[in-house]
Amino acid sequence: MNFHKNGIYHIYNQGNNRQLIFFKPENYLFFLSKMREFVMPYCDILCYCLMPNHFHLLVHVRETELPHISVGVTISHPDTTTDTLRTLNVSIGILLRSYTRAINNQEHRTGALFREKTKAKDGWEDVSISVTHPDYEKQLRNWEHYGLIAFNYIHQNPVKSGLVSRAEEWPYSSASDFAGLRNGTICNQLLAKELLFLV
C-alpha cells in the first residue's frame, strides 16, 4: 500500500477464504483497541465498519512514518540510537498479526486469518498523476465525491448484508456516532464532515 501524507484512503481486508474474523462481541472491541494503538497515531479515522468476515476504514493520513523505539536491541556503539521509523504499512501489518494471534489462541486454530494483502484505495483514477498535470485539480476535486461514496458504502455494509435494517443499528461501525446516537471517540467527525462535505 502506498500512503501519502494528507491523503484519504479506504482500507479494507477480509477473512482468508471469506472466513469469520470476529467471533464474539469482545473480538470487535479488541480490534478497535488495536486500531487505536496502531492506526490512530498515523491517521484520523473518518469512519469504520467491522463486519463478521471483513473490515473497512476510511482514513485521512497525517503521517506515513513515525519514530519507533526498538526494545531489546544490542547496541554496538555507545552513541548508537535505537530509534527507527515505523511506517503506517508496517503498523497495519502488526495490527493484523497481533489480532490474528489472539483469535488463533481463542479459537484453537492456526494459520492465516486475513487475506494476504490489505487493500488501500485512494479514489484517484491515475495514481501516478503529478501536481503539474493539467488535470490535477480536477482529480483532486473528484476525491470528495469518491470519499463520500466510500463513507456511505462503508456504513451501509451491515444493511446490505441483512444484519440490520438501518446502518446506525450495527454496533461495530461509526454510523451511530454520526447519527448522534453514541458518543464514540475513534472517528474524527469534525474532520470527516469538513473533508467529505457531510451535512
Q: Note the pLDDT tens digit of each residue in 143-178.
A: 557 788 899 999 999 999 999 999 999 999 999 999
Percentage of residues of the chain with pLDDT beyond 70: 81
Residue showing cell 483514477: 125
**CA 158, CA 90: separation in Å to the nearest integer?**
29
**CA 93, CA 88: separation in Å to the nearest integer?**
9
Task: Give the model's pLDDT for residue 135.
Answer: 59
| pLDDT band, residue 97 (cuts 50/70/90) | very high
pLDDT at 22 over 80: yes
pLDDT at 138 over 60: no
Provide the 10 A C-beta neighbour count for residue 13. 20
Residue 158 in grid coordinates = 451491515
Long-range Cβ contacts of 173-182 (<8 Å, 24+ apart): 173/47, 173/48, 173/49, 173/50, 174/45, 174/47, 174/48, 174/49, 175/47, 175/49, 178/47
Task: Give the model's pLDDT for residue 20.
Answer: 97
Q: Is the dihedral of CA 165, 170, 175, 178 positive or negative?
A: positive
Task: Give the model's pLDDT for residue 6.
Answer: 86
Out of 5-9, 131-135, 179-183, least confident range: 131-135
Q: What is the pTM of this model?
A: 0.83
Mean pLDDT, all residues of the chain: 86
